[in-house]
Amino acid sequence: MKRIHLDKIASATASLDISPQALISDEIVSAPGYVLAVRALDRKNVYNQIETLEGRMVRVYPGDVIAGVLGHRRALHGHAGVVPMHLTPGQIIHLLNLGGVIGQCTSSNPQVGPPLRVEVLGSVLHFPVIGTRQGVPAHIKMNALPAVKTLGASPPVVFISGTCMNSGKTLAACEVVRYLAGRKGLKVGVAKLTGVSLRRDTLSMLDCGATRALSFTDAGYPSTDAQSAPEAARAVLGALCSPADEALDVIVAELGDGLLGEYGVLPILEQPDVLGRQVVHVCCAVDPVGAFGAASIFKNTLKSTVDVFAGPVTDNLVGRSYIESGLGVAARNAHLDPEGFGQAVFAALGGDAPALTTEAHHKEPHHVAV
């Protein structure tokens, strides 16, 4: 055990309150969620930043000592990587994402170039008993949201999914929040349910008027997959349904990556206790083929429907006309027509029904029984 100064503490570690003056150990548990101290080895011109605990993006320089979290990543437009079976001090691994998830890179998209290499220094220690020097390897589940076996009562949920990453999901989620909170005066909670740890998206939604934000990282997962995603989603949605101060009127939940990606979007939407409530589905597609495929997945796999399409496919009348005439679904562009997009989502929620007006809701809170 030795003391080390951490130059940068990644946002993926936020649940642990890690001090810059940390104690580390040579004993490393090589599994997702464990926190390591690593030293940056490269100077990169792209993909060269890390998100701090405050949500700031700061540049990584050679020699920086960073606290990151072991995890997997399967990104189409970024790095893909895994947690090695064994790790020892001095071993070289990689920074896989901006939130500070680290692992062994297996593939990269040419747009981001090779990953930034980091040297493993040791496990960051956590001291569960105050006043003792009996440290254990820190894991982000140590202060995580409690597990929820089955979701119960809930306010309505707006799910924002997409055909792939970078399809406009976060923009759409932000505009939904802005409309519901700013124009309709609703108390909105937001969630990021799948993907790789990064606070940027939920912070953007808070900036748009959300009152509370949680993500799968708060449930103790550095990234999600088909097995972990439903567990993480239940923990996050369950926590949002347990008000810290006042009940929410609606939850906006972004599902990172795409419907057919490997982060567990479909496994969440296939859960009966997730869909057994009042939900609205917004799907962001890049092109008409993607919109057609998404509509088919919702119909044939989920036995459900998309309520509103958004994303680049709606950038002009060509895509919007195909979706509305060919698929029979509302198509609105969250960037070019945020007002119309917000109205379409609000209408799918029930419009000005009593359950979705602030005054009526606070008199008689709306919860959908499962």
Domains of the chain, earliest start first: 2-137 (no CATH), 157-363 (3.40.50.300)
Q: What is the rounded distance in angstroms from the CA atom of residue 296 to the CA atom of residue 302?
A: 9
User: For residue 351, what pLDDT is reported?
Assistant: 78
Q: Beta strands 57-59 and 65-70: pairing type?
A: unpaired
Amino acid identity, position 2: K
Contacts of 283 (CB under 8 A, 6+ apart): 160, 161, 162, 163, 259, 291, 294, 295, 298, 306, 308, 309, 310, 311
Scan for tokens 């995603």, then name that residue: 229
pTM of the model: 0.91
Q: What is the 3-state secondary structure (H, E, C) of 56-92?
A: CEEECCCCCEEEEEECCEECCCCEEEECCCCCCCCCE
Q: What is the rounded distance in angstroms from the CA atom of residue 291 to the CA atom of residue 258?
A: 12
* Digit-coded pLDDT (tens) for 253-306: 999 999 998 999 999 999 988 877 779 999 999 999 999 999 999 999 999 999
C-alpha dihedral sign at 125, 127, 133, 135: negative
Residue 368, judged by CB atoms within 10 A of its CB (0-12, 13-18, 19+), counts as middle
Instruction: Please state the φ and ψ torsions of residue 129, each to the nearest 5 degrees.
Output: -105, 115
* Alpha-carbon torsion angle 221, 222, 223, 228, nearest 10: -20
Return the structure tokens found at 136: 């254990």
Return the structure tokens found at 13: 């570690």
CA 197 to chain CA centroid, Å, is 6
What are the per-10-residue average pLDDT scores of the chain (370 residues)? 95 94 95 98 93 96 98 90 96 97 94 93 87 84 92 90 94 98 96 96 96 96 96 94 78 95 94 83 97 97 95 96 97 96 96 49 31
Return the structure tokens found at 327: 């698929």
| Helix, strand, coil share (%) of the chain residues, nearest 5 | 30, 30, 45
